[in-house]
Structure 1
Amino acid sequence: MIPSVVLDKENYEEKVHEMLKDEKTYETLKADPTPKYKRNLIAILSRLQKEKKIDYAQYRLLYPTTVNTPRLYCTTKIHKQGNPVRPIVDYTDSLGYQTSKALADLLNPLIGNTEHHVKNSKDLAEELSGVFIEEHEIFNSHDVVSLFTNTPIKEALGIVKQRLIEDKDLKKRTKLEVDDIIELLEFSISNNLL
């Protein structure tokens, strides 16, 4: 059963505005960058089609026909003191949605191929059920704040690039070179409004 949270609208909006005041995580934009992002994405896709790394059908699928701004909403962390909010960005039907979706499909075979991967909280609980803590040991859990916005992009892209280079099946899934995938991934990660 998924718990439901009832929250006063003013209280909810206050929590969201308070979260967005964090200048280490968020910045106020002076102008809407969407037209520039759209031009840049079209330029990348046009080059990839010209180089025959994507065909016309792929180009049309990835071409940004919409300029919808991603929608931000928040869920309440009911397990935390003060019930702070967790931001969720609905990227559906936004500028880079199709490109992000195609990248997710392309990268999906790389997920779960390390010893440090857990699928979800149930998988983690099963992994931990076999762990026994000795009397002189402690179990420590860390809470990550603003995981996505605090992820070092350059380092993350470096890890993805190395995994793509090592992927023996990549050429079966795409004509894109590793550097093309990284370029599209960097575009998707770096050119978002939320």
Structure 2
Amino acid sequence: MVLSGRLKEADKCGAVVIMDKSSYTQEAQRQLSNTKFYLPLTTYPTTKYQKELQNLMKTLPGNIREQILQNTPQEPQLATFQLLPKIHKQGNPGRPIVSSITTITVGVSGYLDNVLKPYATKAPSYVRDTTDFLRKLQSIQNF
């Protein structure tokens, strides 16, 4: 028997979902057609942005430039889009996941994450995970 579907991890509860390929594609098209969040590309933008990044990199000190370039792909690609089915919601909409691990910005993003993380984690509004959030809620009086 051949299944014409996709195996996907559910958005919550760790379940595995077998989703009909046409339903998955229809949900992806529904979300990607929402121009409030996504716009169709008329040209391949990576080459233009790669040149802009190279010009920006020339203005940075050598050690910063090297850290960024170490993590920037030599042949960057566009981000990839996928959905995790929300089986706990009516109609099982998909939670969009956009992976930028192979994109032109991955090196800059990683560098900024390393620089800003020590400051962000000290902010009173920082929440590490669900357990940390619940602990903070318990510490609030009259909750």
Q: TM-score of the superposition, structure 1-length normalised?
A: 0.59
Q: State the distance in 2 between where 1:120 and 1:35 align.
A: 37
**Structure 2 stretches lacking a partner, 5+ long:** 1-12
Moved more, 90-99 or 63-72: 63-72
Q: State the distance in 2 between where 1:128 and 1:119 align.
A: 13
1:3 maps to which residue? Answer: 15
Confirm or deny that 1:38 pairs with 2:50.
yes
Tell me by how many angstroms 1:46 deviates. 1.6
Matched residue count: 129
1:155 maps to which residue? Answer: none
Tell me by how many angstroms 1:62 deviates. 5.3
Q: 1:107 to 1:130 in 2, by over 3 A?
A: closer
Does structure 2 conserve the Cα–Cα contact (< 8 Å) formed by 1:76 and 1:85?
yes
1:16 alignment partner AA:
A
Does structure 2 conserve the Cα–Cα contact (< 8 Å) formed by 1:38 and 1:64?
no
Q: State the distance in 1 between where 2:78 and 2:68 align.
A: 21
Q: What percent identity do the matched residue pairs reach?
A: 27
1:96 maps to which residue? Answer: 105
Residue pairs, 1:1-194, within 5 angstroms: 2-48=14-60, 53-55=61-63, 57-58=66-67, 60-61=69-70, 64-130=73-139, 132-133=142-143
**Structure 1 stretches lacking a partner, 5+ long:** 134-194
Q: TM-score of the superposition, structure 2-length normalised?
A: 0.77
2:36 alignment partner AA:
K
1:171 maps to which residue? Answer: none
Q: State the distance in 2 between where 1:59 and 1:80 align.
A: 40
- For the residue of structure 2 that corresponds to 1:12, the secondary structure is helix
1:123 alignment partner AA:
D
Q: 1:40 to 1:10 in 2, by over 3 A?
A: same
